[in-house]
């Protein structure tokens, strides 16, 4: 199958999802929530409700709309007494827009109705499925938005370790159905790191994006010549930014600097994304064996590389 044909098939899959999703959220109705307003008009009201003092240019840029269309909509809103205009202090040629009391009284019931409809959709799913849906939507948004690849790596701070245990337990339960045995294992690894931490031989890195922890990794001492990489994690909202590879690279750099000769790690075959990172970093699979852990039949793997 050629590249063009595969791309055509993927495009068909995206279009199929679009048709499915528009049916789910009801945007094919001429007017939203049985109101007098179209979906786009309600989006403009939403922007004005939650981001006051926007200009028409701000709205065009935020929603990707034609300036002429936005101007006509705003003229209609002004005629109905839904918005008020004031001169912009930074540009007298532009006007700042805000909802009037009538505009807020018109918009808020629509916002509340939309919230209730969305909650009704979510209630059809279990709580883990709700989390899975939100994470999937976050990934779609991240992939299709202009990518903000900025993040920082830092040392752990008080409270970070509890967050790592919580987030990894939630993530692996959602993505792989692992039970609380895995949470217990993470808690034990983190507790041992905190109790026995030796800065000469061990290190933890936290990846942070916009003030939120989105990844982490540990290097611990296996023996005098062997370092062990543990608990590599990248949050779904930050995947695709190269954070996982950067964390592994930092582990390797640190291990070389302090004189380790080898680095090893243990993982499971189902964690395909992590395995790809290890392979790219030069690790090789040296051992694997089936086991039943975390409520699942798994294949454990030991990976290793010389430093």
Confidence check: pLDDT of 251 > 60: yes
Q: Where are the alpha helices (DSSP H) in 26-95?
A: 39-50, 56-63, 67-79
CA 273 to CA 265: how far, in whole Å? 15
Q: Which of 106-120, 130-144, 162-176 has the highest mean pLDDT?
A: 162-176
- pTM of this prediction exceeds 0.75: no
Domain-by-domain residue ranges, the chain?
A: 3-144, 152-306
Q: What is the C-alpha R_g of the chain?
A: 26
- Of 146-150, 185-189, 234-238, least confident by mean pLDDT is 146-150
Tokens of 287: 């051992």
Q: Which of 40-44, 138-142, 192-196 has the highest mean pLDDT?
A: 192-196
Average of per-residue pLDDT values in the chain: 86
CATH architecture of 3-144: Orthogonal Bundle (1.10)
Residues 6+ apart with CB under 8 A from 235: 167, 171, 212, 213, 214, 215
Structure confidence at residue 30 (pLDDT): 43
Residues 6+ apart with CB under 8 A from 307: 227, 252, 255, 256, 260, 261, 262, 263
pLDDT tens column, 215-228: 999 999 999 999 99
Same topology between domain 3-144 and domain 152-306: no
pLDDT tens column, 18-57: 777 776 666 545 455 566 788 788 888 888 888 767 888 8
Q: How confident is the model at residue 74 (pLDDT cuts 50, 70, 90)?
A: very high
Q: What share of the chain has pLDDT > 70, as a percent? A: 90
Contact 151, 241 (CB under 8 A): yes
The fold for domain 152-306 equals Aminopeptidase (3.40.630)
CA 26 to CA 159: how far, in whole Å? 42
């Amino acid at each position: 199958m050629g590249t063009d044909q595969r791309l055509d098939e993927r495009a068909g899959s995206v279009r199929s999802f679009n048709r499915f999703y528009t049916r789910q959220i009801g945007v094919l109705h001429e007017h939203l929530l049985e109101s007098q307003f179209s979906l786009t008009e309600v989006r403009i009201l939403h922007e004005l409700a939650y981001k006051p003092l926007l200009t028409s240019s701000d709205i065009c840029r935020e929603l990707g709309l034609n300036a002429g269309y936005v101007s006509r909509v705003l003229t209609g809103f002004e005629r109905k007494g839904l918005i008020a205009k004031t001169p912009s202090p930074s540009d007298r040629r532009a006007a700042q827009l805000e909802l009037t009391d009538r505009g807020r009284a018109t918009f808020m019931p629509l916002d509340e109705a939309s919230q209730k409809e969305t909650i009704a959709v979510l209630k059809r799913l279990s709580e883990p499925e709700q989390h899975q849906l939100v994470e999937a939507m976050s990934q779609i948004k991240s992939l299709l938005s202009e990518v903000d690849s900025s993040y920082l790596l830092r040392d752990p701070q008080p409270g970070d370790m509890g967050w790592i245990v919580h987030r990894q337990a939630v993530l692996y339960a959602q993505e792989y159905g692992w039970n609380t045995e895995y949470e217990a294992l993470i808690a034990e690894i983190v507790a041992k790191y905190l109790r026995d931490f030796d800065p000469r031989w061990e290190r933890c890195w936290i990846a942070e994006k916009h003030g939120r922890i989105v990844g982490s990794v540990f290097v611990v001492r296996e023996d005098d010549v062997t370092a062990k990489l543990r608990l590599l994690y990248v949050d779904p909202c930050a995947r695709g930014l190269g954070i996982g590879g950067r964390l592994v690279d930092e582990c390797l750099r640190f291990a070389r600097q302090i004189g380790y000769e080898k680095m090893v790690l243990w993982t499971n075959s189902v964690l395909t994304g992590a395995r790809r990172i290890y392979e790219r970093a030069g690790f090789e699979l040296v051992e694997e064996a089936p086991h039943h852990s975390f409520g699942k039949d798994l294949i454990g793997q030991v990976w290793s590389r010389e430093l």
